[in-house]
């Protein structure tokens, strides 16, 4: 399928699909915890960044990654480039957030991590677990090197790309944490 065919079909699709090098893949629905964590992050970011040029999008905004010919639907996307004004997709995000689940964690930690790092404008990629209070951040420094950091329940973290500081526990407000399924291997922890 061509990019244009995918974009046209996705406008009227009953469910969302991600596009990777000509193939499309359906996206499953998200849990209560997943939705609440993503909404908590997006609400906080939107509130704190309202007076800036940053724009915050949640779950239904696609990101185009030209280097890998892919469209993904991150849980939260933040962009501040006024030229990144596509109606259905963004190409120049500075921050991408994914809430990991048992079915997406490997893809979020490997495939998406590698793809997102190829976006020239991206400065930070944040992953938040939905089975425990854990935030993982991949951050690009001024010399072009990516760094990996983790934060737990009693910590706060700063997002340099948007000048925002958040307490981990605030992102999990109203969330019922359920244990990782015993039938699945633990999520990867493979920093760069």
Q: What is the pLDDT of residues 7-37, one digit of tens each?
A: 888 888 888 888 999 888 888 777 889 999 9
Top pLDDT among 119 and 180 is at 119
Q: What is the pLDDT of residues 77-90, one digit of tens each?
A: 999 998 999 898 99
Alpha helices in 12-167 (DSSP H): 32-49, 105-109, 111-116
Closest CA to 104 of 133, 127, 88, 125: 127
Domain spans in the chain, listed from the N-terminal domain onward: 31-62+72-171
Top pLDDT among 51 and 92 is at 92
Phi and psi at 46, nearest 5°, equal -60, -45
The DSSP annotation for 117-161 comes to TT-TT--EEEEEESSSS-EEEEEE-TTS-EEEEEE-TT-EEEETT
Task: Name the pLDDT band for 138 (thresholds 50, 70, 90).
Answer: very high
pTM across the whole model: 0.91
- Four-way CATH pick for 31-62+72-171: 1.10.540.10, 3.40.50.10260, 3.40.50.300, 3.90.1570.10: 3.90.1570.10
């Amino acid at each position: 399928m061509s990019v244009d065919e995918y974009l046209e079909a996705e406008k009227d699709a009953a469910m969302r699909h991600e596009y990777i090098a000509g193939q499309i893949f359906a996206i499953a629905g998200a849990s209560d915890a997943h939705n609440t964590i993503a909404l908590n992050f997006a609400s906080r970011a939107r509130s704190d960044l309202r007076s800036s040029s940053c724009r915050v999008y949640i779950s239904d905004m696609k990101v185009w990654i030209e280097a890998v010919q892919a469209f993904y639907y991150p849980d939260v996307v933040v962009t501040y480039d006024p030229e990144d004004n596509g109606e259905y997709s963004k190409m120049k995000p500075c921050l991408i957030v994914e809430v990991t689940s048992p079915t997406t964690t490997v893809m979020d930690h490997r495939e998406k991590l590698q793809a997102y790092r190829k976006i020239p404008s991206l400065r930070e990629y944040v992953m938040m677990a939905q089975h425990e209070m854990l935030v993982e951040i991949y951050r690009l420094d001024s010399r072009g090197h990516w760094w990996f950091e983790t934060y737990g329940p009693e910590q706060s973290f700063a997002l340099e790309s948007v000048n925002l500081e958040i307490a981990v526990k605030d992102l999990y407000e109203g969330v019922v944490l359920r244990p990782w399924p015993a039938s699945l291997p633990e999520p990867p922890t493979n920093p760069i």
